[in-house]
Amino acid sequence: MNFTRWSARLPGTQRRAAARTEDSPTALPSEGSVPAARAERLSDAALLPVVDELPVREVLDRIPALVALVQGPDHRLAYVNDAYVAAFGVRPPGEPARTALPELAEIGLLPLLDQVLRSSKPRTVKSRKAPGGRSYTFTCTPVEVSATPEGSGVLIFAADVTDHAEAAERLRASERRQRETAVTLQRSLLPQELEEPDDLRVAATYHPGGTEAAVGGDWYDVITLGGGRTALVIGDVMGRGVRAAAVMGQLRTAVRAYARLDLPPHEVLQLLDGLAMEIDANQIATCAYAVHDPNEGRLVYASAGHLPILVRDESGTVLRADEPTGPPLGTGGWMHASGSIPLGPGSTAVLYTDGLVERRDADLDEGIASLERALAGATGTPQVVCDRLVRSAGVTADHDDDVAVLVLQHPARTGPDSELFRNAALELLGGVEAAPRARAFASGVLTSWRFPTDLHDLGVLAASELVANSLQHGTPPMRLRLRRTDRRLIVEVTDGDDHLPRRRRAEPADESGRGIAIVATIASNWGSRRTPGGGKAVWCEFALPRTT
């Protein structure tokens, strides 16, 4: 092939040739128009060969990049340079590219050649791994070859980018390892196993957002408070990174500590707010803290800037716990308040973070409304509900925000299962007859529940001591409540005085002060709390023997 003639047909060649004719070096500049030194430089440059006069084949043979020229609709091979031969071996000219250049067919480049011929526009594919393990970036450029019957062709230029490709792969592998480490860190800060309350069934899920190695600050927790009550927490530390995860870990630990005090939800958030300011005044977090008491059939909650809790009742109606909601944690100067929402048998509640409902192209209220519709039709176990809500929200592996979901159900128990969950209560007005009435009531109830003799006696003794303590240190009205679940017996006494008892060592000469010590000794667990309407509740638990 005559490369000199072919080079004259390359795009731009005719324009440069015409420019050389117009600016012929024989045309001398006018006197005084060019300094002498510049004139000498122009004269020296005129003696050097210009690019258009270089032999094309000599240039293509010597460049280190791979070059091939194919012609016509069958892409018949017209030329390969020495670098191409060194990379893939000798290639027979005149054969179609599918036969002569099998390496191009293997990496899927032949359809690109067709596109270049049809569009007369160059195309580039980056970092394709060719046979032999080397990576190349291929650029295909249309050319006109008037000396051949086909009249058109494609110049294939391949630059070796193996080093760049390997470096990029090492970087991607490093980012994957960093992300795995970050996700492991995040998951390690979440509860490894959720606590299992007697009266609730719970499930949770966490989906890390995005593909970068940044850690999110979403968290959730389930805390059994004793006396049959359960605390549920969900929160979100704003931002991403290890700092957000560290703040999240500190807040979660603090929530568990404050929960053991059995405080009302708004008081827990009040303590968390002060702690968040001490940790980092610039780090804002949202949190919802709720407490479920099976005796009341309600979920008492407080929210610090978090999204509303959703509850679906037994009939399928979804309620939204919108109010009250205070500002996020760490803002300070706000008095949080508690609200409540019904959560009776057959109900399902959902606590979630904004990653589940917030989208850049939609309003937040639309996302919450969509979640309400999904919850209305979501049935099954808590884990099934979790999975359905995540799928309905379109959360995928490349979702751009972390997602945490906590689902709890208060199952409606019927048949033999309902026999394992019983309640009995007695109102006490005080006076000398209160203690004997309480003992008689407790004995009758525990006998009807068919408890073994030793557990029956311990339950009666605990009821007697708690009532005696309330009579001595509390004020009417008083109530004795007995509750059994499939795992424990709970004895609880409430009265109108808000002074919480404490366990102390009684001296031999003391006539009182031993009641709480006796209860703490015989029971599996005991505690006390202030009740919302004023007063207190003192309770103890006995673990039931497991049936085989």
> In 294-330, at which residue ranges do the beta strands (DSSP E only) sit?
298-304, 309-312, 318-321, 325-326
**Encoding tokens for residue 516?**
């709480």
Residue 8 has pLDDT above 80, yes or no: no
The predicted-structure confidence for 179-227, as pLDDT tens digits, reads as follows 677 667 767 777 878 888 999 999 999 887 765 545 678 899 999 998 8
| Contact present, 266 and 288 (Cβ < 8 Å) | no
Kindly write down the DSSP assignment for every residue of 378-427, as one continuous string: --SSHHHHHHHHHHHTT--TT-SS-EEEEEEEE----GGGGGGSEEEEEE
- Contacts (Cβ under 8 Å, ≥6 apart) of 193: none
| Contact present, 288 and 306 (Cβ < 8 Å) | yes
The predicted-structure confidence for 229-256, as pLDDT tens digits, reads as follows 999 999 998 877 677 778 888 999 999 9
Cis peptide before 294 (omega within 30 of 0): no
The per-residue pLDDT of the chain, averaged, comes to 84
Rounded to the nearest 5°, which phi and psi values hold at 313? -85, -175
For tokens 């070859």, what's the residue? Answer: 145
Residue 2 vs residue 274, higher pLDDT:
274
Distances (CA, A) of 75 to 85, 107, 155: 18, 16, 10
Residue 372 has pLDDT above 70, yes or no: yes
Q: Which of 517, 428, 527, 518 is nearest to 480 (CA)?
A: 428
Taking residue 175's Cβ as centre, other Cβ atoms within 10 Å add up to 13
**Encoding tokens for residue 267?**
């008081």
Confidence at residue 17, expressed as pLDDT on a 0 to 100 scale: 47
Burial of 306 (0-12, 13-18, 19+ CB in 10 A): buried
Q: What is the mean pLDDT of residues 523-529?
A: 93
Alpha-carbon 69 to chain mean position:
51
Q: Which of 230, 170, 165, 174 is nearest to 198 (CA)?
A: 230
Quick check: helix, strand or coil at residue 361?
A: coil
pTM to 2 decimals? 0.69
Distances (CA, A) of 423 to 22, 111, 158, 408, 419: 108, 76, 81, 22, 10
Residue 313 has pLDDT above 60, yes or no: yes
Q: How confident is the model at residue 508 (pLDDT cuts 50, 70, 90)?
A: low
Confidence at residue 2, expressed as pLDDT on a 0 to 100 scale: 44
Rounded Cα gap, residues 14 and 130, in angstroms = 36
The predicted-structure confidence for 97-131, as pLDDT tens digits, reads as follows 999 999 998 888 999 999 998 898 999 999 888 88
Rounded Cα gap, residues 223 and 236, in angstroms = 18
Cis peptide before 35 (omega within 30 of 0): no
Q: Which of the residue ranges 175-179, 186-190, 267-271 has the most confident prediction, judged by mean pLDDT?
A: 267-271
Taking residue 530's Cβ as centre, other Cβ atoms within 10 Å add up to 18
Kindly write down the DSSP assignment for every residue of 116-151, as one continuous string: HHHH---EEEEEEEPTTS-EEEEEEEEEEETTSSSE
Q: How confident is the model at residue 133 (pLDDT cuts 50, 70, 90)?
A: confident
Helices then strands (H, E): number in the chain?
16, 21
Least reliable range by pLDDT among 97-106, 291-300, 382-391, 425-434 = 425-434
Residue 438 vs residue 31, higher pLDDT:
438
Residue 11 has pLDDT above 50, yes or no: no
Q: How confident is the model at residue 147 (pLDDT cuts 50, 70, 90)?
A: low
The predicted-structure confidence for 428-454, as pLDDT tens digits, reads as follows 987 778 889 999 999 999 999 999 999
The predicted-structure confidence for 475-485, as pLDDT tens digits, reads as follows 888 999 999 99
Q: SS3 letters for 231-265? A: EEEEEEECCCCHHHHHHHHHHHHHHHHHHCCCCCH
